[in-house]
Structure 1
Amino acid sequence: MKVQVRKINEKDQEQLIIECVEVTKEVEEIKSFVLSKGTTLTGILEERIFTFPLSAVYYFEAVDERVFAYTKNHSYEMKVRLYQVEDLYKEHHFIRCGKSFVINLLKLQSISPALNGRFTAHMKNGEKIIVSRQYVPSLKKAVLGGTF
């Protein structure tokens, strides 16, 4: 595979072109990574407002009417609802896996069966998230079907 970088003069002319024989899982991951790199979120941590890249988020969690974005080292309070997160970032490989969780499939290490038809999502940062029964089929399809 060749990689080529060319300098241009205008910001609005920037683009990334992927030329491939077949659109594989790896190509889709590259596309999603590039798209999420340009997406910046704003969150609150210790009464201060921070910006951080969407690609740094492992998962979002809703707790008591509040939504938090979890990165490797911090959890930021967001001013959005969980259903909005799910809708906004589904093209960036975020998927609902429970009433209170939306996870980043690119930060998912593995999944394993749990009790009562549920699964456990093992994230690359060591966190374990329970996947509700109703979301298991869509998570399996995303992981096994290669949609991420």
Structure 2
Amino acid sequence: MKIVINKILEKLDIKESAIFNIFEVTPSIEKAISFLEESNYTIVAQNIDSEEFIQLKISDILYIEYLERRIFLYTKNSTLITKDSLSNFSKILPNEFVQISKSTVANSLYIKAFIAQKNGNLTLEIVGNEKLIVSRRYVANVKKTLQNISN
């Protein structure tokens, strides 16, 4: 069976394309197609340095923090803000995002390593050598998300 991903990408007005020749559509293949479709969702947020509003792919977000009634979106190159509640904003996020504390959500695809702490918390190291604390309450959820991604 031949699956042509570039048809999906054309609908999304994306110039990149890929052709996969596969013998059987397995759950893993379906998951990959779903990931490609979801990774192109965008939001509009304000860059905190230039105060300019830009369109940001959700898949480019490393992690999200809710502070002072605003959502801070951290990418490899910039920090952006938007106004919303964390619970509302979390509803639009793909399954790769996992809540790690009351006010922080991390993109599990950018997790490089994690270290267990004596107090039951975890420390996540994400791309860019940023370190985030996973509170005990959210450790099981993080482990579950990482297992789902690895399958």
TM-score band w.r.t. shorter chain: 0.7 to 0.9
Preserved CA contact (<8 Å) 2:64 2:104: yes
Which of 105, 109, 113 matches 1:106?
109
Q: State the shift of 1:33 in Å.
A: 3.7
**Closer, same or farther in 2 for the Cα pair 1:104/1:30, shift >3 Å?**
farther
**Closer, same or farther in 2 for the Cα pair 1:117/1:21, shift >3 Å?**
same
Distance in 2 between residues matched to 1:135 and 1:7, nearest whole Å: 38
Aligned to 2:57: 53
> Is 2:91 aligned against 1:87?
yes
Please report the TM-score for the alignment, with normalisation by the length of structure 1: 0.78
**Closer, same or farther in 2 for the Cα pair 1:6/1:64, shift >3 Å?**
closer
Q: How does 1:66-145 map to 2 (within 5 A)?
A: 66-89=70-93, 91-145=94-148
Aligned to 1:44: 46
Distance in 1 between residues matched to 2:130 and 2:36, nearest whole Å: 21
User: Structure 1 runs of 4+ off > 2 angstroms?
Assistant: 1-8, 16-22, 26-31, 144-148
1:88 partner SS: coil
How many residue pairs were aligned?
141
Q: What residue ranges of structure 1 are gaps of 5+ in the alignment?
A: none
**Closer, same or farther in 2 for the Cα pair 1:113/1:27, shift >3 Å?**
farther
The one-letter amino acid paired with 1:44 is Q
1:34 partner SS: helix
Q: State the shift of 1:31 in Å.
A: 2.5
Query: Which protein is richer in strand relative to its size?
Result: 2
Distance in 1 between residues matched to 2:34 and 2:26, nearest whole Å: 13
Which structure has more relative contact order (CA 8 Å, sep 6+)? It is 1
Considering only aligned residues, what root-mean-square deviation do their CA atoms show, in Å? 3.2
Percent of residue pairs bearing the same amino acid type: 30
